[in-house]
Amino acid sequence: MTFPDEKFADAATYADAYFEKLASAAASVDRGRLAAAVAILEKAYERRATLFVCGNGGSAAISNHLECDHGKLVATDTNLLPRVHSLAANIEVITAIANDIEYAEVFTHQLRLNGQKGDVVMTISSSGDSENVVRVIQWARDNGCESIALTGFNGGRTGKLATINLHVAGDNYGVIEDVHQSLMHLMGQFIRQKRMSAELITQRKF
């Protein structure tokens, strides 16, 4: 059974149940794997490799948000100039590939054009099993790139193929995506504050 598994009479009660599930899902993320993912990102930013990130639907929105926060915000007050590119951002390119080739290739085709050995790939997919993101992780394995998969439910194929799987134990898309969004934020914020002085941190908003 998945959440919700009953009918709720009012929004307040549903909110209490939802936030309980959200807290449990956030707590389920393996902190060792999270630290390993942060290390991969930080090293990539240091050597000016490109982080390519992608997802479908709500996960595409998180991908685009990540490009903003891990680019502009991580560079603020630090010595890092991250190269971050959301493969879900260019609707003209996406629709051209989907129309002329196939939807399953909308991300990997872009990687063939722009990716290179040493880059990092991140996929955001609650199921972990969407064919277009699975192909991205496989491309990374075949082309000398480390990969990070943000997943939920049972982790899917991307969870098994990725260098690091940040798995959220949840069975509700909203809850899983909320935790994925939080992971996106906290990884960028941690890297940023690590490069700042303690005094400067107290003077800035995150």
Instruction: Write out the chain's pLDDT in tens, 206 residues.
Output: 799 999 999 999 999 999 999 999 999 999 999 999 999 999 999 999 999 999 999 999 999 999 999 999 999 999 999 999 999 999 999 999 999 999 999 999 999 999 999 999 999 999 999 999 999 999 999 999 999 999 999 999 999 999 999 999 999 999 999 999 999 999 999 999 999 999 999 999 99
pLDDT at 132: 98
Closest to 41 measured CA to CA, from 195, 204, 174: 195
Partner residues linked to 164 by β-bridges: 148
- The whole-number pLDDT of residue 70 equals 98
Pull the structure tokens for residue 145: 């790139």
CA 138 – CA 60 distance, rounded (Å): 19
What is the dihedral sign for C-alpha 27, 28, 30, 35?
Answer: negative
Which of 9, 53, 68 is CA-nearest to residue 162?
53
Return the closest-CA partner of residue 52 out of 118, 129, 142, 126. Answer: 118
Predicted pLDDT at 1: 75
Token reading at 203: 């003077």
DSSP, collapsed to helix, strand or coil, labels residue 30 as coil
Residue-by-residue DSSP string for 78-137: SS---EEEETTS-HHHHHHHHHHT-GGGTTHHHHHHH--TT-EEEEE-SSS--HHHHHHH
Q: Enumerate domains of the chain plus CATH numbers.
A: 31-203 (3.40.50.10490)
Residue 163 DSSP label: S
| Cβ 153 vs Cβ 127: under 8 Å | yes
CA distances from 141 to 21, 67, 121, 147 (A): 33, 22, 10, 8
- The residue behind tokens 């930013």 is 45
* Identity of the amino acid at 205: K
